């Protein structure tokens, strides 16, 4: 190599080093800049009045989404809900409970109950037995899909979609009764008023041919060995338990505290079970909307077509939301917007980033571009 070539190379290296130093300086500057908000993270939730004001504002923004959504009608009884309802309960581990709007209105748990079925199955049947029957991967399909189950000829993708939850019910049925599950639900939700909503249960049992097909498919593959109709009834009863946003916040708070009630120190599930439930809520809790929700909101959440959302801000708060108007994926449309707003404002995102562009139009553009490029 000639001297002049060597010189060129040295210049290039020098240039790269200069640039790297420049970048390091910039990063150092930013790190100091961000220190304060990060240290400050727990502050907002303790400031109840301020947090309440933030949530009130978020509720107003979220209400604007309601006309874009629809209540579920494939379960006829759910079609009778007033789509304009919206309520939230946020229960911090340290600080006062914040309840707004229709936080005390009863609605059916629907798929939020899949978290409870998973918790009890992990506790009663054990981790190995559960994951012998279901996987732990997002499906990318609608919640009631049976395509991937049939085509891939294996077990359901995860326990938070219908096929997976039905498989879990097949495990639970020989071990616990619905009454046992109801009792546990009342305890873990700190809500003695939770009952089976007979009207919603009857309505769904008359129209659940899709779930029935899934259950028979699971039987044909040997994934459930229990009676199909009994399994279906057990699953549908779990979906038809009447909760409130407040009862979901109580449950979320115990999950946030690794399975222990912060008030009386009582343990409701092992910390391993709580951790698995939270992880699957983050990756699979919003069906085929899970990835985008994780990016936009970053709080492990499980939705139900009754309009409920159970969210867990780990080590910080349990959140319950009710808003029966749903988006295309079957998730509460105003509820998702509400969580997105408070996640930004109260810094609840698991991966909180003070630089995240709060301009939501710009955010949408990035997400659309990522989807188009098949990154998501």
User: Of 121-160, which residues contact ligand GLN (CB under 6 A)?
Assistant: 143-144
User: Least distance (Å) from ligand GLN to the CB of residue 116?
Assistant: 13
| Cα separation, 277 vs 142, whole angstroms | 20
Q: Binding ligand GLN by CB under 6 A: which of 85, 110, 190, 244? A: 110
Give me the half-sphere count of Cα atoms (radius 13 Å) on the Cβ side of residue 359.
Answer: 5
Q: Binding ligand GLN by CB under 6 A: which of 252, 291, 304, 307? A: 304
Give me the half-sphere count of Cα atoms (radius 13 Å) on the Cβ side of residue 171.
Answer: 25
Q: Binding ligand GLN by CB under 6 A: which of 77, 123, 204, 246? A: 204
Q: Return the number of the residue (98 or 325) whose C-beta is nearest ligand GLN.
A: 325
User: Least distance (Å) from ligand GLN to the CB of residue 306?
Assistant: 7
Q: For residue 39, what are its two tokens? A: 């240290």
The answer to whether residue 74 is catalytic is: no
The answer to whether residue 111 is catalytic is: yes
Does 286 help bind ligand GLN (rule: CB under 6 A)?
A: no
Candidate list 91, 103, 157, 287, residue with the active-site label: 287
User: Least distance (Å) from ligand GLN to the CB of residue 205?
Assistant: 10
Strand-strand pairing, 242-243 and 308-313: unpaired
Q: Binding ligand GLN by CB under 6 A: which of 44, 190, 211, 244? A: 211
Q: What is the 3-state secondary structure (H, E, C) of 205-240?
A: HHHCHHHHHHHHHHHHCCCCCCCHHHHHHHHHHHHC
The answer to whether residue 114 is catalytic is: yes
User: Least distance (Å) from ligand GLN to the CB of residue 187?
Assistant: 22
Does 332 help bind ligand GLN (rule: CB under 6 A)?
A: no
Residue 179 CB burial class (10 angstroms; 0-12, 13-18, ≥19): exposed
Does 163 help bind ligand GLN (rule: CB under 6 A)?
A: no
The answer to whether residue 203 is catalytic is: no
Pick the closest to residue 288 from 156, 145, 75, 131 (CA basis).
145
- Mark 48-87 with x for binding to ligand GLN (rule: CB under 6 A) and - for no binding: ----------------------------------------
User: Which residue's structure tokens are 């630089």?
Assistant: 355
Q: Binding ligand GLN by CB under 6 A: which of 111, 139, 190, 343? A: 111
Give me the half-sphere count of Cα atoms (radius 13 Å) on the Cβ side of residue 263.
Answer: 11
Q: For the chain, how far is it from start to end, CA to CA, in angstroms?
A: 46
Does 239 help bind ligand GLN (rule: CB under 6 A)?
A: yes
Measured CA to CA in angstroms, residue 27 lies from 21, 22, 354, 355 at distances of 10, 9, 14, 13
**Number of shown-chain residues binding ligand GLN (CB under 6 A):** 11
| Cα separation, 305 vs 111, whole angstroms | 7
Does 162 help bind ligand GLN (rule: CB under 6 A)?
A: yes
Does 102 help bind ligand GLN (rule: CB under 6 A)?
A: no
Active site residues: 111, 114, 235, 287, 305
Binding site for ligand GLN (CB under 6 A): 110-111, 143-144, 162, 204, 211, 239, 304-305, 330
């Amino acid at each position: 190599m000639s001297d002049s070539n060597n010189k060129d190379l040295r210049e290039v290296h020098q240039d790269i080093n200069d640039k790297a130093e420049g970048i390091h300086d910039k990063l150092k500057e930013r790190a100091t800049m961000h220190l304060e908000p990060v240290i400050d993270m727990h502050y907002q939730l303790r400031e109840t009045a301020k947090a309440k004001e933030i949530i009130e504002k978020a509720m107003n923004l979220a209400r604007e989404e309601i006309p874009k959504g629809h209540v579920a009608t494939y379960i006829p009884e759910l079609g009778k809900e007033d789509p304009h309802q919206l309520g939230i309960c946020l229960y911090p581990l340290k600080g006062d409970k914040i309840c707004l709007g229709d936080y005390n209105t009863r609605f059916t748990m629907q798929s939020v109950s899949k978290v409870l079925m998973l918790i009890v199955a992990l506790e009663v049947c054990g981790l190995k037995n559960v994951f012998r029957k279901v996987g732990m991967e997002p499906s990318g399909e609608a919640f009631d899909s049976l395509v991937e189950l049939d085509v891939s000829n294996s077990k359901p993708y995860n326990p938070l979609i219908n096929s997976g939850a039905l498989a879990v019910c097949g495990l639970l049925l020989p071990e616990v009764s619905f009454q046992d599950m109801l009792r546990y639900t009342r305890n873990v939700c700190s809500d003695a008023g939770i009952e089976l909503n007979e009207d919603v249960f009857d309505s769904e049992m008359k129209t659940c041919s899709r779930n029935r097909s899934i259950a028979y498919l699971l039987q044909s593959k040997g994934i459930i060995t229990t009676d199909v109709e009994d399994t279906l009834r057990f699953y549908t009863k779990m979906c038809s338990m009447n909760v409130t946003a407040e009862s979901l916040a109580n449950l979320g708070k115990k999950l946030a505290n690794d399975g222990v009630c912060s008030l009386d120190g009582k343990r409701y599930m092992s910390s391993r079970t709580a951790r698995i439930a939270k992880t699957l809520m983050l990756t699979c809790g919003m069906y085929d909307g899970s990835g985008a929700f994780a990016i936009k909101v970053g709080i492990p959440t499980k939705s139900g077509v009754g309009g409920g959302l159970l969210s867990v801000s780990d080590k910080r708060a349990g959140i319950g939301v009710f808003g029966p108007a749903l988006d295309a994926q079957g998730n509460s449309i105003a509820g998702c917007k509400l969580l997105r707003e408070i996640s930004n404002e109260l810094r609840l995102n698991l991966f909180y980033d003070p630089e995240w562009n709060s301009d939501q139009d710009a955010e949408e553009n990035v997400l659309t571009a990522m989807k188009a490029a098949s990154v998501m």
